Amino acid sequence: MAIKQKQLLSEMPIAQTNIKPYWLPFSSNRKFKDNPRVIVSAEGCYYLDADGRKIFDGLSGLWCCAFGHNRPEIAEAVNRQLLELDYSPAFQFVHPLVIELANRIKDITPAGLDHVFFTTSGSESVETALKMARAYWHHKGKPEKTRLIGRVRGYHGANFGGISVGRIEPNRLPYGELITADHLPHNILPENAFSRGIPEHGIELADVLEELIDQHGASNIAAVVVEPFAGSGGVIVPPHGYLQQLRESCNKHDILLIFDEVISGFGRTGSTFGAEHFGVFPDIMCLAKTLTNGTIPMGAVVASAMIYEGFMDTDTPEHTVEFTHGYTYSGHPVACAAGLAAMDIFEQEKLTDRVHELAPYFEELIHGLRGTKHVTDIRNIGLAGAVQIEPVSNDLVRRPFDIGVACWEKGLYVRWAGDTLQIAPPYVCEKEQLDEAFNILSDCIGEVA
Ligand code: PXG
Ligand code: PLP
């Protein structure tokens, strides 16, 4: 085995000799470089690693390749587009595909979300939404409405606005002064442990919004930003009525509600968007990831007519810019081609229905891990789940890390982050593949010290 590994590594100059210059994002670089995990190709629900092993993709990449890997429809659309129009300036010009994709997104998102602003990632979508919210109030003659409210354990990307409204402490700690924000509590409560799907308890935690409004005054608050269910924070599903109550408080006090649907969008819950799943509709929605099935970086912010018209209804001359914001690669033609092909797959294969069908099976499997050593909580919604692992003394991360690496070695990729393991398989997977994935996961949790 040792010899085989040595031979294979010698065929992999990237991993063995040249890896040092590469600084991995959100990774333990020192430990990784001792024994790199190298993915060389993918197909359907599997990766192939540098040793030729097949590994089940238990997180759809990083929650983005939900329709399965290497879809030829997307590859062909991207290839065609690269030969037709590789780039065109996003500021003051359009190309046909960006118009088409804006319409597709308008049509697929809930009624009332009608105006699409493109970005190149979820982090940029969040920054865009936060700036849009503040600028909206500025245009409405209320420039003092700037405060932002997120949630504890919310994840809104890695940029400064996102880590300010998000609240995963290690993501904030080293970076000094952030943008002022308050945070509503999360609802991981002892009485919610091992809830199947939407938990029962914690609706009263939505009252904290009213307390914050009392404290700061609605006239100083721009927006509340939440994930319909928290993904990275460990699949935290809000209780019945929670999002509804946030919506009602926002309406009452004239505060915007932003849903960050970077993970919950495009079917993950078993509804097309988290907004529909919970029956609560935001003023602004952030999208990314599965918008292109993870193939080409792209995000989008979808705003209501009220927001858009707030910008357009101005006394400034028509040739002036209404929203002084945008990115070099906003609405990139190649990303649009990928997005359109991905939307075709999503709709033609009725993948939301597929998630809805698989979700009860997934729920049985993940809750089947209850009682396994070290498992302190299991949470799930649609095809998303998290298994919370008891820390080793003060080290939250060590056990999930060891379990995740053991799974990888046995042919399953799951993500470990903080004290949880996260599972979000491609929508196109089969029940037998899920059986196998959960057998591996169960063995690896059971065997960890
Ligand atoms: N908002 C939400 C809700 C997200 O989940 C982002 C914004 C940022 O998107 P970009 O494209 O800038 O990364 C995300 C990203 C995990 C994990 O392990 C989650 C994300 C990214 C990487 C890992 O759960 N979410
Ligand atoms: N930094 C510099 C010096 C730039 O000129 C630009 C864009 O023109 C950026 C950063 C932002 O890059 P992007 O539009 O890709 O976010």
Q: Per-residue pLDDT averaged across 270-295, rounded?
A: 98
* pLDDT, tens only, 297-350: 999 999 999 999 999 999 999 999 999 999 999 999 999 999 999 999 999 999
Say how many Å lie between the CA of residue 84 and the centre of ligand 1: 31
* pLDDT, tens only, 125-167: 999 999 999 999 999 999 999 999 999 999 999 999 999 999 9
Residue 10 has what pLDDT?
43
**For ligand 2, is residue 328 a contact (CB within 6 Å)?**
yes
Q: State yes or no: pLDDT of 16 exceeds 90.
A: no
Phi/psi at 130 (5° precision): -65, -45
Q: State yes or no: pLDDT of 31 exceeds 80.
A: yes
The Cα-based distances of 398 to 57, 292, 336 in angstroms read 22, 33, 40
**For ligand 1, is residue 123 a contact (CB within 6 Å)?**
yes
Residue 328 has what pLDDT?
98
Residue 7 has what pLDDT?
43
Residue 449 has what pLDDT?
92
Residue having the nearest C-alpha atom to atom 10 of ligand 1: 122
* pLDDT, tens only, 230-272: 999 999 999 999 999 999 999 999 999 999 999 999 999 999 9
Residue 229: pLDDT band (50, 70, 90) is very high
Say how many Å lie between the CA of residue 326 and the centre of ligand 2: 10
Residue 13 has what pLDDT?
52
Say how many Å lie between the CA of residue 289 and the centre of ligand 1: 8
Pick from 144, 170, 140, 149: nearest CA to 158: 170
Show the 3-state SS of the chain. CHHHHHHHHHCCHHHHCCCCCCCCCCCCHHHHHHCCCCEEEEEECEEEECCCCEEEECCHHHHCCCCCECCHHHHHHHHHHHHHCCCCCCCCCCCHHHHHHHHHHHHHCCCCEEEEEEECCHHHHHHHHHHHHHHHHHHCCCCCCCEEEEECCCCCCCCHHHHHHCCCHHHCHHHCCCCCEEEECCCCCHHHCCCCCCCCCCHHHHHHHHHHHHHHCHHHEEEEEECCCECCCCCECCCCCHHHHHHHHHHHHCCEEEEECCCCCCCCCCCCCHHHHHCCCCCEEEECHHHHCCCCCCEEEEEEHHHHHHHHCCCCCCCCCCCCCCCCCCCCHHHHHHHHHHHHHHHHCCHHHHHHHHHHHHHHHHHCCCCCCCEEEEEEECCEEEEEECCECCECCHHHHHHHHHHHHHCEECEEECCEEEECCCCCCCHHHHHHHHHHHHHHHHHCC
Domains assigned to the chain: 37-67+350-447 (3.90.1150.10), 72-348 (3.40.640.10)
The two structure tokens encoding residue 305: 């007519």
Q: State yes or no: pLDDT of 114 exceeds 60.
A: yes
Q: State yes or no: pLDDT of 359 exceeds 80.
A: yes
Q: State yes or no: pLDDT of 14 exceeds 60.
A: no
In this structure, which ligand is nearest to the CA of 91? 2
Task: Give the position, in ligand 2's atom list, of the atom nearest the Cα of 329.
Answer: 15
Say how many Å lie between the CA of residue 120 and the centre of ligand 2: 12
In this structure, which ligand is nearest to the CA of 325? 2
Residue having the nearest C-alpha atom to atom 9 of ligand 1: 122
Residue 239 has what pLDDT?
98
Residue 2 has what pLDDT?
38
* pLDDT, tens only, 54-99: 999 999 999 999 999 999 999 999 999 999 999 999 999 999 999 9
* pLDDT, tens only, 184-210: 999 999 999 999 999 999 999 999 999
Q: Per-residue pLDDT averaged across 370-383, rounded?
A: 98
The pick from 163, 229, 263, 269 for probing ligand 1's pocket by mutation, whose C-beta has the most ligand atoms within 8 angstroms, reads: 263
Residue 4: pLDDT band (50, 70, 90) is very low
Task: Give the position, in ligand 1's atom list, of the atom nearest the Cα of 121.
Answer: 11
Residue 3 has what pLDDT?
36
* pLDDT, tens only, 431-447: 999 999 999 999 999 99
Q: State yes or no: pLDDT of 355 exceeds 70.
A: yes
Say how many Å lie between the CA of residue 378 and the centre of ligand 1: 20
* pLDDT, tens only, 401-434: 999 999 999 999 999 999 999 999 999 999 999 9
Residue 138 has what pLDDT?
98
Residue having the nearest C-alpha atom to atom 5 of ligand 2: 328
**For ligand 2, is residue 327 a contact (CB within 6 Å)?**
yes
Say how many Å lie between the CA of residue 156 and the centre of ligand 1: 7
Say how many Å lie between the CA of residue 291 and the centre of ligand 1: 13
